[in-house]
Amino acid sequence: MHGLHDLADLLFGFDYFISYAHADGRRYAAELSRRLEALGFSVFLDERVYVAGDDLHSATRRRIRMSKKLVVVVRDHALASEWVGKEVEVALARGRVPIAIDINDTLARAPADNPLRQALRDKIFIAETLDDPDGEPGDEVIMKLARSFEATRQQTLRVRALASASIVFATVALLALWQYREARTNAIEFYTLCVQTRSQVTAGIAKLQNLGRQSEFGRLVAGIAEKVAALPDPKSLECGEDPR
C-alpha cells in the first residue's frame, strides 16, 4: 500500500514541498510535514544533504514543479542556503507562489540585498514565534497553510468549471454546425433528386404521347402512358426553394 502511495505521489505530485536548510535543524520541518499529512495533504520533505558543488537534484526539481505549494522555512541558515534559493527559483519559474514561514522574524530582519529576501519579496509569508526555533509548528501556522491550499483549490475548481463550461459550449456549437451542414446537405440532395425526377417523368410522358401520334406501335406503347397518366402530375411535385 505504501508503494502505491509513493507511486501516486510520483505521478501526480504533492500538495506541499517543504524547503528548509538542514543546518537549521530538521525537527520543525519534520513536524510541519507530519501535521499537514495528518490533515490529509501529501507532503514532500527532502532529506537529502546537499554537498557544495552539487547541482539541484533533477528529481527534486521535478517534485517542486509538480507540487502545488512550496513552503519555505526561513531561519538563519536558510537565508544563506544556495539550495533553498534554487528551490524557490524553480517554484517561481513554474508559476508557484512560495509561502515563507518566517521563524522569529528572520526574514523581516534579513538585509535588503539578501537573495532569499529579494526572491520572497511581496510573496505570502506566515510569522511564527518560537522559544525553540527548531520546535514544533504552531496551530495557527498549520491553519493558515491549510486555508491557503483551500483558496488555491477553490480557484482551481473555478478555472476547471469555466474550462468545462467552455468545452460544453464549444461541443454544442460544433454539434449544431454539424447538424446544420447535414441538414443542408440532405436538403440539397432532396432538391436535386426532386428536380431530376420531375424533369424525367415530364420528358417520358411527352415522348410516349408523341409515339402515339406516329404509328400503331406507338399507339400500343402509348397505352402504357395511360398508366403513367394515373400518376400525380409531375408539376404538382413541390421541390421547394433551391437551398444552395
DSSP for the chain, written as a single string: -HHHHHHHHHHH--SEEEE--GGG-SHHHHHHHHHHHHTT--EEE------TTPPPPHHHHHHHHH-SEEEEEE-HHHHH-HHHHHHHHHHHHTT---EEEEETTTTTTS-TT-HHHHHTTTSEEEEE--SSTTSPPPHHHHHHHHHHHHHHHHHHHHHHHHHHHHHHHHHHHHHHHHHHHHHHHHHHHHHHHHHHHHHHHHHHHHHHHHHHTT-HHHHHHHHHHHHHHTSPPGGG----S---
End-to-end C-alpha distance for the chain, whole angstroms: 65
For residue 199, pLDDT over 80 is answered with no
CB atoms within 10 A of CB 168: 10
pLDDT at residue 223, as a whole number: 57
Q: Nine-digit cell at 181?
A: 451542414
pLDDT at residue 94, as a whole number: 86
pLDDT at residue 7, as a whole number: 47
CB 128 within 8 A of CB 138: yes
pLDDT band at 133 (very low <50, low <70, confident <90, very high): very high
Q: With pLDDT > 90 as the criterion, what percentage of the chain qualifies?
A: 35
Phi and psi torsions of 34, nearest 5°: -65, -45
Contacts 24+ apart (CB under 8 A), 7-10: 9/42, 9/44
pLDDT at residue 5, as a whole number: 44
* Closest by CA position to 81, among listed 7, 21, 3: 21
Q: Nine-digit cell at 123?
A: 510573496
pLDDT at residue 75, as a whole number: 96
Q: Measured over all CA atoms, what is the biggest interatomic distance in the chain, rounded to whole angstroms?
A: 126
Counted residue by residue, the chain has a size of 244
CB 45 within 8 A of CB 29: yes
Average pLDDT over residues 87-115: 92
pLDDT band at 234 (very low <50, low <70, confident <90, very high): low
The residues that bridge with 114 in the sheet, in sequence order, are none
pLDDT band at 4 (very low <50, low <70, confident <90, very high): very low
Instruction: Give the pLDDT confidence of 35-58 residue by residue, as tens digits.
Output: 999 988 888 887 654 555 555 667
Phi and psi torsions of 99, nearest 5°: -110, 115
Instruction: Give the pLDDT confidence of 143-186 residue by residue, as tens digits.
Output: 999 888 765 554 444 444 454 555 555 565 556 556 656 656 66
The mean pLDDT value of the chain amounts to: 74
